[in-house]
């Protein structure tokens, strides 16, 4: 069993055994939740964190990260050719008002991703590489009602020892559906940024304020905890200029990265009937 599968099983076990069961007012569902969960994984040493305890749709998180780097907030721009997972969060103008990429690149009248690359190119030892998706003027705190607000609300990226390390800060994670997708997606972002900066990817860190399993996912969690996988560590081979190609919405890039990971991926069967709770 690879490192990420082992980490994931232990997290699910902790939440199912020690989590607090409460009903959420917004969804009406019970969750078992644990506050302040954190893990780290060294991509270079432990492999790319793609869950194999159940099959994860690879192409979706690859296309999503490219869409983020494009800075778009319309799924009709590129993303819908691969997935419709953001369609539930669009407004009547087919806009995702809280799209991460748009928040990173345009929302605050500053291209935070470009600024991050420029900073770490100019000053590799900088500790100011912080990118924010959360808008304190309108998100959360009982403010403007929205279909969605950012879950991974900020990340930091910095170079230590000639490698790019990324810490992803998440306010709320659905551990069955959202968590594996978020980890793979942001680890891919880390690798794309590292290649752009001419360094190797290092440690991926993931911190969650509220890590929870929905009542409708309890049986799936128990099944996953009991599984044993033979997945070997995955090594991500990015084509040249992957960051730039992602920014440009290169569909061939998505397919190339997909084929690379697919050729190494030996997941266990999907678990049927898992539905997202909105």
DSSP letters for 101-132: HHIIIIITSS-HHHHHHHHHHH-TT-S--EEE
Report CA Rg, the chain.
Answer: 18
Say if CB 167 and CB 207 are below 8 A apart.
Answer: yes
Share of the chain above pLDDT 70, in %: 100
In-domain check, residue 124 = yes
In-domain check, residue 247 = yes
Share of the chain above pLDDT 90, in %: 92
User: In the prediction, which pLDDT does 85 show?
Assistant: 94
The pLDDT of residue 147 is above 80: no
Tens of pLDDT, residues 6-28: 999 999 999 999 999 999 998 99
In-domain check, residue 122 = yes
Mean of per-residue pLDDT scores for the chain: 96
Distance of CA 72 to the CA centre of its chain: 17
In-domain check, residue 48 = yes
Segment 91-113 mean pLDDT: 96
Tens of pLDDT, residues 243-277: 999 999 999 999 999 999 999 999 999 998 898 89
Reduce the DSSP state of residue 68 to 3 states and report it: helix
The pLDDT of residue 32 is above 80: yes
Q: Structurally, how many domains does the chain consist of? A: 1
Full domain range(s) for residue 38: 3-262
User: In the prediction, which pLDDT does 272 show?
Assistant: 87
CATH (domain of 10): 3.30.572.10
Determine the Cα–Cα distance for residues 141 and 118; give it in Å rounded to an integer.
33
The pLDDT of residue 143 is above 80: no
User: What is this structure's pTM?
Assistant: 0.97
The pLDDT of residue 164 is above 80: yes
In-domain check, residue 254 = yes
In-domain check, residue 273 = no
Determine the Cα–Cα distance for residues 38 and 151; give it in Å rounded to an integer.
15
In-domain check, residue 232 = yes
In-domain check, residue 270 = no
- DSSP symbols for 173-194: EETTTHHHHHHHHHHHHHHHHH
User: In the prediction, which pLDDT does 242 show?
Assistant: 98
Over the range 68-107, which residues count as b (16 or more CB within 10 Å of their CB) and which as e?
bbbbbbbbeebbbebbebbeebbeeeebbbbbbbbbbbeb
């Amino acid at each position: 069993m690879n490192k990420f599968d082992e980490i994931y099983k232990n997290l699910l076990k902790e939440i199912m055994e020690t989590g607090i069961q409460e009903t959420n007012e917004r969804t009406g569902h019970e969750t078992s939740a644990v506050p302040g969960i954190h893990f780290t994984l060294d991509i270079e040493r432990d492999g790319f964190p793609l869950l194999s305890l159940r099959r994860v749709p690879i192409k979706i998180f690859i296309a999503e990260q490219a869409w983020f780097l494009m800075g778009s907030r319309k799924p009709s721009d590129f993303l819908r050719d691969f997935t419709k997972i953001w369609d539930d969060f669009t407004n009547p103008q087919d806009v995702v008002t809280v799209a991460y990429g748009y928040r990173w690149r345009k929302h605050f009248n500053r291209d935070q991703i470009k600024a991050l690359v420029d900073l770490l190119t100019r000053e590799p030892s900088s500790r100011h590489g912080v990118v924010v998706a959360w808008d304190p003027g309108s998100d959360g705190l009982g403010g403007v009602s929205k279909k969605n607000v950012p879950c991974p609300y900020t990340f930091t990226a910095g170079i230590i020892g000639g490698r790019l390390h990324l810490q992803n800060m998440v306010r709320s994670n659905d551990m069955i559906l959202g968590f594996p997708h978020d980890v793979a997606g942001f680890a891919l972002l880390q690798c794309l940024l590292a290649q752009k900066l001419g360094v190797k990817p290092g440690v991926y860190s993931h911190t969650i304020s509220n890590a929870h399993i929905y009542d409708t996912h309890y049986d799936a969690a128990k099944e996953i905890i009991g599984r044993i996988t033979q997945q070997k560590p995955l090594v991500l081979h990015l084509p040249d200029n992957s960051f730039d190609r992602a920014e440009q919405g290169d569909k061939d890039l998505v397919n190339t990265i997909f084929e690379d990971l697919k050729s190494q991926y030996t997941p266990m069967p999907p678990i049927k009937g898992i539905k997202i709770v909105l």
